[in-house]
Structure 1
Amino acid sequence: MNFESLSSRQLERKQKKIQIGAILGAGIILMVFLGPGLVGSYMSYIIDLTLIYAIGTLSISMLANYAGIWSIGHTAFLAIGAYLAANLSERGFTVEIIILLGFIISLVLGVVVGLSAGRFAALYMAILTLALGLVSNEIIGRWQSVTGGDQGITVGPARLLFSNTPLDTNGHILITIVLVTLTFLVVTLITKGNLGRRWLAIKSQRMASMSIGLKPSLENALAFGLSGAITSTAGVALAFSMMYISPEAFSLAIATNLLLCTVVGGVGSIGGALLGAMFLVLVPEMAREVQGISAYVFGIATILVLLFLPKGIVPGIAQRLKKWSNNSSKRASYVAATVDNLTDSDFENLSSLVENLLKPATSNLTISGLSVSFGGVRALDNVSLEIPPGSVLGLIGPNGAGKTTLLNVLSGYVKPTNVESLRLGKTDLTSLAPYGRVKHGFGRTFQHAELFDELTIEENIYLAAQQRNKFNKNHEPGNNAAKIAEMLIDNLWLRPYARLYPGEVPFGVQKVTDIARALATGAQVIVMDEPFSGLDAEERSEVRSILKAMKNAGVSILIIDHVVQEVLNIADNMVVLNFGSVLATGSPEKIKNNPKVLEAYLGSALKDGKEVLSN
């Protein structure tokens, strides 16, 4: 297999199959050796406990790496599974039903708590999860009829659905092996699939993720809920392994140790979760003779890892091995391709592509009486403008004039202080969240591209195309997300960079990718924040060609840029802002000769623009 010829998604699927095969193989090997009791009881107990904590560590690791949420309260979910097992097993419930109930209860609780993640910064979310852990400890101590309070509670016999015979110790280990295997499989499917891509996009660029239709608050809630539900299964396994549950198993110390294991082993890594769990179980076992030394070992190990392997032991070693391989030299030669002068054929292909992907705009974008204040600062003051369907409106003005603020209001990131009308056709945009505006054909690009750093160039575009097809139930079967991404990559000269990450490509490529992402959403109205900013002459030529193709396809465009000559060349009409107010409106020719505009901005801007264009 030539891996260089694979797309990002094909390579991902190939790696996912290999990983799934490895997990299943490891699970079978563990069953063969541990199930019949081929190892001693003490060693079986150590392995069992390690696998149980590997489930908890991996659930926290998944949440931190893909959703950017660090939880100190996952012991609450561990307790839910454990105390359900202790109480329901005494009432004759089977292991399968207990696991299912724990999963559902923890999922619901996790989603409720996770909804708060969309409202708080990472620090406050960590404090919220800490509160969850402390509240759960308080409940455990006081709800004695269920938990046994500080005295703890014994666990009933474990029975399977189709067997009335209670499981012995080897049977308990088999339950753990099955659970850890299923957990590793589920986490692999989640993180290597669409959910993982969506979570990574939101984690890296929250605002930009909304511009393609993602809902950060709901995705964060789902991530937290699934993570908590997975942790509850570890609680069930822990209960049947220990056969006795006490509050110490869910203390703040355990919660902290789980976090330390996640950091030491490596965030987002299955191997890191296993290594971290081994660290958590083996260090206290090896240090039994010296009281309190395990805390020092945990602390010193964490400091050393953060200093020398900040991504954790497993990812850190993997990254260094990758550097030592010859893949880097292959990648460098692969990226060496550049875009030469564009031909008429290139432009025809580009125009055909845009016409195929985007429907012509049919609605006016109307702004009337828009004002925005930040404290005592008036960023926009009674601004009104209109973009007829299929036209290009250029918005220019000096720094601080309110241009980006206007785009942020249109995108839904900033709420207007006052507004008479903000509509796309008959749709009132003020009533829609940012991701809701995408459904109505609204698209956005950003001054600094704002790409999803942990997704490849191809995955950035593919994710946007997926959202397009999710909103458009009547899309043509041939225009699936993969096909759309392939067409954009090939016709926007991105093929040499498709499998690279945004941080590995030139800024011009990032800007083109940002535009491609907006095109992939199928938008009919696209607002563009300085698409020419920071580009050289060749890169501006590429962007210019894309904008002309969009205009020919009938897309409505609102463009702001300090490279004024480019805006004047493509715009049908112009609006000039100064100190948050409309200074002038009219055709490009009229604006170029407006004395007020020349005095306030355009004289120096045109001069600077000509100098830039001559470089």
Structure 2
Amino acid sequence: MSLLKLSGVTKVFGGLTAVNRLDMEISEGQIFGVIGPNGAGKTTVFNCITGIYTPEDGEIMWDGENITGLQPHKIAMKGVVRTFQTIRLFSKMSVAENVMSGRHFRSRQKWWNAIFHTPKSYKDEIANWQHVKETLEYFDLIDYASHPSGSLPYGIQRKVEIARAMATEPRLLILDEPAAGLNDSETLALVELINGIRRQGVTILLIEHDMDLVMELTDYITVINFGEKIAEGTPTEIQKNPQVIEAYLGSDEDDE
């Protein structure tokens, strides 16, 4: 059984159909790519999966459960988390505090435990900070733990954002253009990082415009153009697909 399955998902804004009857199926353990020209509807698909948008039609199944239209925080609690194309950190908070913010809904204490500083609250807080420390170490961010996140270079901020998402202990990590704004060495490090996350048992869904990165990382790809799926297959199959080539490069008729 697939981990995530989209069946006939359609999203309309006014008179514009941003996503039209999209089918997509992701197996556990995959690195799955979604590609397409600018404005193809890729981020809209991610927003439907994570509950930011509710589709007008179709359904989204997560591990056999229909999560179509479920609130974003409830979807996140099921293990579906994401990063954004534009980094969204708490810029004045430290790196450690940003990563800790990803732990909050994993807390097992009740609100009154925190107010009265009960032993249970203390134990829970210690366990969460230990998890934050381990996450910072894994992402090689321990030296930046006390730094305000907004003061750090762009590449480090991107790592902090992914670390915060991983602190939630996801089963599916959705990455929206994680290589955007990175230089060549940072992109190479990102490839190693994503492969390492997959080795931890996390399934990855990826939007990315860097085709070299997509072809190197992904197991399977869906291609979207004008909100519709035009192709799917392995990276080798996608590279040879004439519809994909036309969508990215245009056709001879376009030149005429």
Quickly name the TM-score band, shorter chain normalised.
Answer: 0.7 to 0.9
Distance 1:571 1:549 in 2: 13
Which residue of 30, 39, 46 corresponds with 1:400?
39
TM-aligned CA distance change 1:498 to 1:478, over 3 Å: closer
One-letter identity of the residue aligned with 1:521: T
Distance 1:427 1:381 in 2: 22
2:196 aligned partner? 549
TM-aligned CA distance change 1:538 to 1:418, over 3 Å: same
Distance 2:201 2:249 in 1: 28
TM-aligned CA distance change 1:416 to 1:384, over 3 Å: same
Q: What is the 5 A alignment of 1:10-409?
A: 364-409=3-48
TM-aligned CA distance change 1:480 to 1:541, over 3 Å: farther
SS of 2:12 mapped into structure 1: strand
Distance 2:249 2:126 in 1: 43
Distance 1:466 1:408 in 2: 22
Q: Offset of 1:543 from its aligned partner? A: 1.6
The structure whose residues are more often helix, as a share, is 1
Distance 1:547 1:389 in 2: 15
1:562 aligned partner? 209
SS of 1:480 mapped into structure 2: helix
One-letter identity of the residue aligned with 2:97: E
Q: Quick check: 1:501 aligned with 2:148?
A: yes
Distance 2:126 2:235 in 1: 37
One-letter identity of the residue aligned with 1:461: V
Which residue of 46, 56, 61 corresponds with 1:417?
56
Identify the structure with bigger relative contact order (alpha carbons < 8 Å, sequence gap 6+).
Answer: 2
SS of 1:430 mapped into structure 2: coil
One-letter identity of the residue aligned with 2:93: L
**1:183-208 superposed Cα distances (whole Å, 9 cap, x missing partner):** xxxxxxxxxxxxxxxxxxxxxxxxxx
Query: Contact (CA 8 Å) 2:8, 2:22: kept in 1 or not?
Result: yes
1:349 aligned partner? none
2:161 aligned partner? 514
SS of 1:589 mapped into structure 2: helix
1:595 aligned partner? 242
TM-aligned CA distance change 1:506 to 1:602, over 3 Å: farther
Distance 2:50 2:13 in 1: 17
Q: Offset of 1:431 from its aligned partner? A: 4.6
Q: TM (normalized to structure 1)?
A: 0.37
2:83 aligned partner? 445
Q: Offset of 1:602 from its aligned partner? A: 6.6
One-letter identity of the residue aligned with 1:396: I
Q: Offset of 1:417 from its aligned partner? A: 1.5
Query: Contact (CA 8 Å) 1:392, 1:572: kept in 2 or not?
Result: yes
1:328 aligned partner? none
One-letter identity of the residue aligned with 2:213: E
**1:417-441 superposed Cα distances (whole Å, 9 cap, x missing partner):** 111x201012221252100011111
The structure whose residues are more often strand, as a share, is 2
Q: Quick check: 1:432 aligned with 2:73?
A: no
Distance 2:126 2:165 in 1: 16
TM-aligned CA distance change 1:504 to 1:567, over 3 Å: same
TM-aligned CA distance change 1:526 to 1:389, over 3 Å: same
2:116 aligned partner? none
Query: Contact (CA 8 Å) 1:372, 1:380: kept in 2 or not?
Result: yes
Distance 2:183 2:47 in 1: 26
Query: Contact (CA 8 Å) 1:592, 1:602: kept in 2 or not?
Result: no
SS of 2:103 mapped into structure 1: helix
Query: Contact (CA 8 Å) 1:443, 1:525: kept in 2 or not?
Result: yes
Distance 2:15 2:66 in 1: 27
SS of 2:93 mapped into structure 1: coil
Q: TM (normalized to structure 2)?
A: 0.87
Contiguous gaps of at least 5 residues in structure 1 = 1-361, 472-476, 604-615
Contiguous gaps of at least 5 residues in structure 2 = 110-123, 251-256
Distance 1:602 1:486 in 2: 46
CA RMSD of aligned residues (A): 2.1
Distance 1:380 1:510 in 2: 31
Matched positions, count: 237
TM-aligned CA distance change 1:602 to 1:535, over 3 Å: farther
Distance 2:185 2:206 in 1: 20
